[in-house]
Amino acid sequence: MVRTPGLFWLEKRLLRMILRRLVKPVRVVLWNGEEISESVDPPSARIKVRDEATLWKLILNPELQFGEAYSDGRIELEGDLVGLLDTIYRSKTQTSESLYPRLVSRRWARGTVNTPRGSRRNIHRHYDIRTDFYKLWLDSQLIYTCGYFPSSNHSLEEAQFAKMDYVCRKVRLQPGDRVVEAGCGWGALALHMAKHYGVSVKAFNISHEQILYARQRAREEGLADRVEFIEDDYRNISGRFDVFVSVGMLEHVGLPYYRELGDVIDRCLEASGRGFLHFIGRNRELPLNAWIRKRIFPGAYPPTLRQVMDIFEPWGFSVLDVENLRLHYAKTLEHWLARFEESASPICAMFNADFVRAWRLYLAGSMVAFQTGWLHLFQIAFVRFDNNQIPWTRDYLYLGESDPKQESKWIHAIS
């Protein structure tokens, strides 16, 4: 093997193999200034790699190491991050992956297990980051799940309001209903339900920071008598409820616990009860991106519809409605990313530049994953199999939807 200055023959060859698979030309600039490209066309992006060790890691496990190196500055990007990620996602086929992730793809199930203790640790890692940080780029109600855009030009605030109302309509809230929410974030949905639909809510969350914030908000809005925020695991839900709702928690539950979640729902849902799940999923079985799993969401996993049936089938729940809101999450993330970039300076001051790069990559990568169909957003409405108090058609969901400010019309339609 002849060593070329600054780069082994093998490294170069492997790198060219990778670049050749990309649907748009990308150029790699080495630490010595040498440029590697597989196209004569002007590159859509230039990636500067700081040293040989980084290059080797990128070649062997790009899914994990791209994020690692981008976050701590060992690679620098000239050009548009979103455009590069789009090129990468569109270059992958859903059947082929690099060798390493395939070998370790099942490790997520063994690694960061979502036992009650494991879940607490995993959730703490992400959601107990100070709330001030999330205030800089989420909507005014701190809703950290996919919005619902009646049309694509609605604002993020409107989309989150519309999403909460859409959820309320999907579970057909009636005044006086007792609702249990598993995984309530900063409490926006629970408060929305109590305020606009006259229901009482018990909302569970294991993030200490979020629960404190939600309780404060309930007191400030005079809803503390009807919305109880409970710092506990979904597995400890007790009592009987007319509605079970969970928005953006299932991703953190973990496959081995789906039957247990189904058992919890079966225990707590009345015979005439309505259930609802909203979660990030896949159209086929794939592990979550290795870097996201390591750095952003330990223990997280986006399930397929097949896998989710473990929650319903053993207990005889009947799925009434499944909706895929993939492009709504892409749009939500577009808003989050734009606001994040606007606040990059204060966020950098709050943490550091590595943190900013890591979160920029996470937000941009997630947006592109939804845009390119690698991630999906499913909403599932369900009831017990023999519950005949179900809507005749779904048209009640779409009354006055085009204007999310027509709040009274929706609520009138429900009550």
Binding to a second copy by residue 305, rule CB under 8 A? yes
Binding to a second copy by residue 319, rule CB under 8 A? yes
Binding to a second copy by residue 397, rule CB under 8 A? yes
Which of residues 198 and 391 has its CB atom nearest to a second copy in the complex?
391
Q: Site map for a second copy, 376-395, x if CB under 8 A?
A: x-------xxxxx-x-xxxx
Which of residues 11 and 86 has its CB atom nearest to a second copy in the complex?
86
Nearest approach, Cβ of residue 411 and a second copy (Å): 18
Query: Of 320, 344, 348, 350, which lies in the binding site for a second copy, with binding defined by CB under 8 A?
Result: 320
Distances (CA, A) of 393 to 137, 276, 278, 398: 38, 17, 21, 11
Binding to a second copy by residue 9, rule CB under 8 A? no
Binding to a second copy by residue 278, rule CB under 8 A? no
Query: Of 34, 220, 313, 342, which lies in the binding site for a second copy, with binding defined by CB under 8 A?
Result: 313
Q: What angle do CA 411, 414, 415 make, to 5 degrees?
A: 90
Nearest approach, Cβ of residue 178 and a second copy (Å): 23
Query: Of 155, 236, 402, 415, which lies in the binding site for a second copy, with binding defined by CB under 8 A?
Result: 402
Binding to a second copy by residue 14, rule CB under 8 A? no
Binding to a second copy by residue 317, rule CB under 8 A? yes
Nearest approach, Cβ of residue 307 and a second copy (Å): 9
Which of residues 53 and 271 has its CB atom nearest to a second copy in the complex?
271
Q: Position 387: which residue type? A: N
Query: Of 219, 267, 306, 405, which lies in the binding site for a second copy, with binding defined by CB under 8 A?
Result: 306
Binding to a second copy by residue 327, rule CB under 8 A? yes
Which residues 218-277 are close enough to bind a second copy by CB under 8 A? none
Nearest approach, Cβ of residue 112 and a second copy (Å): 25
Binding to a second copy by residue 314, rule CB under 8 A? yes
Q: Site map for a second copy, 335-354, x if CB under 8 A?
A: --------------------
Candidates 79-87, 107-115, 228-236, 322-330 — which segment interacts with a second copy by CB under 8 A?
Answer: 322-330
Which residues 103-162 are close enough to bind a second copy by CB under 8 A? 148-152
Dist CA 408 CA 368 (whole Å) = 36
Interaction site with a second copy (CB under 8 A): 90, 94-95, 148-152, 283-285, 304-306, 309, 312-314, 316-324, 326-328, 371-374, 376, 384-388, 390, 392-395, 397-398, 401-402
